[in-house]
Amino acid sequence: MQPLENIRVLDLSRVYAAPAGSMMLADLGAEVIRVEHPNGSDSMRDWGPFLNDQSTYYLCANRNKKSITLDLKTNEGREKFKELVKDADIILENFKTGDMTRMGLSYEELKKVNPRIIHCAVTGFGQTGPLAYEPGFDPVIQAMSGLMHVTGSTEGEATRVGVPIADILTSQYVVISILAALRMRDQTNEGQFIDLALLDVQMSSLANVASAFLNTGFASERLGNRHNNVAPYQVFNCADGPLMICVGTDGQFQKFCLMMEHEEWAKDARFMTNTMRKQNEAELVKMITNMTMTKTRDEWIVLLQQYKIPGGRVNTVAEALEQPQFMARDMIGEIEHEQYGKMKFVKNPLKFSSLNIQYKLAPPTLGEHTNEFQKSSLPK
């Protein structure tokens, strides 16, 4: 048994944020039906590199789904969609604000068809506000949210995170909000509309950076691999490459000094508390670097583990995917599609004591399951 069995999602979304969210719902047992334009509506299918002509970008957000084609710009397509809505639980879309209304498919119209329907709309800026009708892609959101301002080296330019982090975080909120709406529907027997904006998500994810400014006026700046509030808490160069070391408490710092064979550092007035270490961070970092350069990363990791101090290699993507811890967690899966063959993927990170997430369907080709479309409805 899967937790979301008998839950049907009509997924009209494209690119990453919303599709990645519906994929997680599918992993948990929901029947997710991608509703796509007959000519294709997801530009992600065109982004390389490719596996047997299928975009690996598209593959990472669309497993365990079906795909049917409908042209929602035609009366026939809209009427068929409404028939699907009668037996659906969730509509997920990321059209620009106002597009669903222009097509006659607003939440107000769709809840007339199914009062229990949950409609989750994902946009760059939300359904309200001066930018509501503007497009908002992940890099734009990273820039506007202030995230880029606090990312990168001290001397360098504002830097985008290396993955579409605003999209990724929003996909998590897609799942959270839909699960909450389903639970509420259990109590009220009514659906609702969810207005989810990438900018809101990314702003809420500024966490301690936003809290510091809102409450004290302290504005964080780019610090490279250093921490805004804690020291030593950064990347240090070793004899064979970079190593992240995080000394989060005064107690850990005392153990760290013992590990470094410099117990006198812990008694130095400049370094006795975290506040003092931040004030004298440049001097401390120089002293630590002189030591870390004397050993390899693996040699330091043995010591860090012995002294219970958090630390880890700065891995390449290849090294990260092949590291023993990741492999021990059985986090790489493989699934086969009859048209484009075998594909590997990073599994859903959720692990339960009495639930095994199943990977039944490879990401579908455009309209692959349209033949299951009988008359005007898919049987539930």
**Residues that are catalytic:** 167
Alpha-carbon gap, residue 238 to 345, rounded angstroms: 32
> In angstroms, what is the C-alpha Rg of the chain?
25
CB atoms within 10 A of CB 369: 17
Alpha-carbon gap, residue 70 to 38, rounded angstroms: 6
Q: Give the chain's length.
A: 380
Alpha-carbon gap, residue 250 to 271, rounded angstroms: 9
167: nearest Cα among 133, 136, 210, 194 = 136
Using an 8 Å Cβ cutoff, are 359 and 333 in contact? yes
> How many Cα atoms are found within 13 Å in the side-chain-facing hemisphere of 337?
20
Coil, helix or strand at residue 203:
helix
Using an 8 Å Cβ cutoff, are 167 and 198 in contact? yes
Coil, helix or strand at residue 327:
helix
Q: In the block, which residue shows the tokens 């898919």?
A: 378
> How many Cα atoms are found within 13 Å in the side-chain-facing hemisphere of 28?
19
166: nearest Cα among 227, 122, 210 = 122
How, if at all, do strands 31-36 and 65-69 pair?
A: parallel
